[in-house]
Structure formats: C-alpha cells, structure tokens
Chains A and B, each alone.
Chain A
Amino acid sequence: MKGNKFKGIAVDGLLRNNPTLRLVLGTCPTLALSTTAMNGIGMGLAVTFILICSNTLISLLRKVIPNAVRIPSFVLIIATFVTVVRMVMEKFIPDLYDSLGVYLPLIVVNCVILGRAEAFASKNPVLDSAADGLFTGLGFTWALTLLGVIREVLGSGSIFGVELWSFRIEFFTSAAGAFFTYGVMIALFNALFAKIDNVKKRKEFYAAYPDAIQPEKLETKTEEVK
C-alpha cells in the first residue's frame, strides 16, 4: 500500500502531471534555458533541489503557518532556499551560474514550486511531500533536458557541448524556435496521452461488457470463416 502511494506520486510527477508538458507551468525558464541540454539539466536540478527542500519544510510547518499568511510564508521559504542555491552555485559552478543568469533568482516566482507547496505540501505528511518534490522536480528536469537536447542538436549541432556535426538550423536556438519546439512537444505529449486514455477506456469497456463485439476480433473471425 505504502509502495503503491509512492509509485502514484512518481507517475504523477514524471508523466501524468508533468509540470512542463502536461500542466504547462514554469514556462519562462523552460523557454529561456532549453537552448542547450546542459542549461536544461542545470536549471532542472536547481529547481528539483529547491522543490524538495521547500516541500519538506512547508510540510513540516503546515500546522504552524496560519492559513491567512500561508502564501507569503511559502514565498519567504522558497526565496530563502533560492538564495542559498544561488550563493552555492556562484561559488562552485560559476559557469552554470552565468548561463542561468536572471532566471536563477526567478525560481522564487516559478509557479511549479509555489503550486506544489499550495496543492500538495501544505496538506500532506513530510515524506510524501519530499517524494512529491523529488518526482515533480525530476519531471521538470527531464522535460527541460529533452527540450534542450532537441534544440541543441538541431540548432548548434552539438549535444551537452560535444560537437556532433556542422549542420545547424539556427532557428532552433532563437526565441521563435523555443516557442515552436515547446509547442510541438506539448502537442505530441497530448496526443500520446489521448491515445493511452483511449486504449484504457476500451479495455475497461470490454472488461465490463465481455459479450460486446470487439472489432479487432471480428476481423480475425471472418478470416477464419473464409
């Protein structure tokens, strides 16, 4: 039962409620920092770390924080962790710090983090909230990294900074390419989930009505008759 719950949280964060591709939250850093795969993974991991910390702390304090001032309190907690991450990054990974630029302090107003604090951490026990932070963060990270890989391979002809070939479509490194790639990715993901839902519904239907004629089986039967 316990394992099932964590599995549900994981599937939700990574796929079904993926913050980037399903909920379309935190779009600003997604568009701005998916120019290279490295930026994507750096931003994703920074957000993941802050999400785990803020979710844990908010969940611990959920019975202490009065309801009326909960949003300012969440923002303060998140801002503190962002400041910590920023100082650590500036000291130890200055290259990444420079390439994230203004989007690093903007993690404070990233709707993924505030959204998880409000929707999950303020209502659930500590361990679940930390797991939710981890998996939502990883869902954000993989989507950002995938976008970064696509845009880097097509736009700069390299992957994680390693040059592949001299073929380049610079459109993909531009702002227009960011919107376009992201839009197409959401559309593909939507189509995928529509398909999965369809198959699921069908299975449920035939499980409920075993006597119903199934079109696929019908074809094989007519072939047998021939």
Chain B
Amino acid sequence: MGNFLMIIIMAVFVNNFILVQFLGICPFLGVSKQTGNALGMGLAVTLVMTMTCLITYPIYQFILVPLGLQYLEIIVFIFVIASLVQMIEKFIKKFSPSLYNAMGVYLPLITTNCAVLGVAELVIDKAQMLSLLGIESMNIGVAVGYGFFAGVGFTLAIVLMSGLRQKIDKLDVAPALKGFPITMIAASFMAMAFYIFNMISIG
C-alpha cells in the first residue's frame, strides 16, 4: 500500500512527466490549445503508456535479458509501440466509435511521442526508478502502475496548460512572444508550482 501511494505521488506530482522530466513536450505544446483536445490526447497517451509498460517490461526481462540481447531494446521497443498503437486504434474504432472520436485521432501521433518510449526505457532501468520513485524492487506491477500514473501526470499537466493557453491567447502580447515563447514561459511558472511537491515526504 505504501508503495502504491508512493507511485501515485511521485509519478503524478513530484516527477511529473512533462514539467519535471521534459518527456512529451511536443504534444504538450501542440495539442494544448483546447481543453477537449488536451484531455483526449492525455487519455490516449495514458492508455498507450500503460499498455506499453505491460508489454515491454516482460519482453525485456524474460526475453532480451536471458538471451543477452539488451542492446536491441530500442529497436524492439519502438516496434512494439508502433504496432501497439495501430492495434489499439483498430480496436477502439471497432468497439467504441464514440471513444474513437474522442481520442482516436491522437493515437497515430503517439508512436513518435517521447513520453511513450521514455516510459518503456525508464521502467527497465533500476537506478532511474530508484531515483524517480524511491522503490528498489521492480516488478511488472510497479512498472505498469508507473506507466499509468505517469500518464495521469501527463494528462494533468496538458489539461492545466490548455486552460492557461485559452486565457493567454486572448491577451495582447508582444509579437515576438506570441505562440511558443509565451507558452514556454507559462509552462515555466507551472513547473515552479510543481516544484512545491518536492516538499512532500513519505515514510
């Protein structure tokens, strides 16, 4: 239970995927103009990140490590992610057209999203997980839990950003600051706010 709480707080707030680890900045900047779109993107990323951890972690631990093929991880992971995204897209399109309308359009974009490959690479790295979560013993449960809550953290950041941007877009800012620069500076203030979560300590 302690571990579970730890994963939630560390993954969602303290080491937020976007604002602390800088993973998934492209959708954060590109799809954060409207709250609806941001939420769809966030949900799609969360789904794919959870599924990716569920598949890549066992592949790495039970196939690549015993065979001594760790150096192939990048190629294997990128292919798993690409095919997984395609499968999820087909599956959702078939079984839930309304869900497909809400987040299906974002799915193809996710293949080349560094948040997804990033989470796959992070959960197999024990030293990284220790510094990110404070958990020493890794297993598939922790890996999938981390994937899910890191996705929740991503969704939180992108939805908050979309709210900010709707306000910012109405402001009269200097022409040079329009677009990316003012968004970056707004993100900087959000990152400052998230820094406060560092003061949480557990156990």
Q: List residues of A whose CB falls within 8 A of some B CB.
A: 24, 27-29, 31-32, 72, 75-76, 79-80, 82-83, 86-87, 101-102, 105-106, 108-111, 114, 174-180, 182-184, 186-188, 190-191, 194
The 4 A-B residue pairs with the shortest CB-CB distance in the complex, in nearest-first order: A183-B184, A179-B188, A187-B181, A191-B176
Option from A102, A174, A177 in Cβ contact (under 8 Å) with B118: A102
| Contact of B82 with A by CB under 8 A | yes
- Dominant secondary structure of chain A at its interface with chain B: helix
Min C-beta distance of B136 to chain A, whole Å: 19
B112:A114 contact, CB within 8 angstroms? yes
Min C-beta distance of A52 to chain B, whole Å: 19
Min C-beta distance of A111 to chain B, whole Å: 6
- Dominant secondary structure of chain B at its interface with chain A: helix
Given A28-B24, A75-B78, answer yes or no on A106-B121 (Cβ-Cβ < 8 Å): yes
Q: Which segment of B14-22, B92-100, B137-145, B146-154 sits at the interface?
A: B14-22
Task: Tell me the complex Cα distance, A179–B29, Å.
Answer: 12
B176:A82 contact, CB within 8 angstroms? no
Option from B19, B114, B176, B192 in Cβ contact (under 8 Å) with A106: B114
B74:A174 contact, CB within 8 angstroms? no
| Contact of B202 with A by CB under 8 A | no
Chain A residues whose CB sits within 8 angstroms of the CB of B176 once the complex forms:
187-188, 190-191, 194
Please, how many residues of chain B have a CB less than 8 angstroms from a CB on the other chain?
A: 43
Given A102-B118, A183-B188, answer yes or no on A76-B75 (Cβ-Cβ < 8 Å): yes
A24:B180 contact, CB within 8 angstroms? yes
Min C-beta distance of A103 to chain B, whole Å: 8
Min C-beta distance of A108 to chain B, whole Å: 6
Min C-beta distance of A196 to chain B, whole Å: 13
Option from B25, B78, B113, B180 in Cβ contact (under 8 Å) with A31: B25
A83:B24 contact, CB within 8 angstroms? no
| Contact of B172 with A by CB under 8 A | no
| Contact of B182 with A by CB under 8 A | yes
Min C-beta distance of A83 to chain B, whole Å: 5
Contact with A along B17-60 (1 / 0, CB 8 A): 00111111110010000000000000000000000000000000
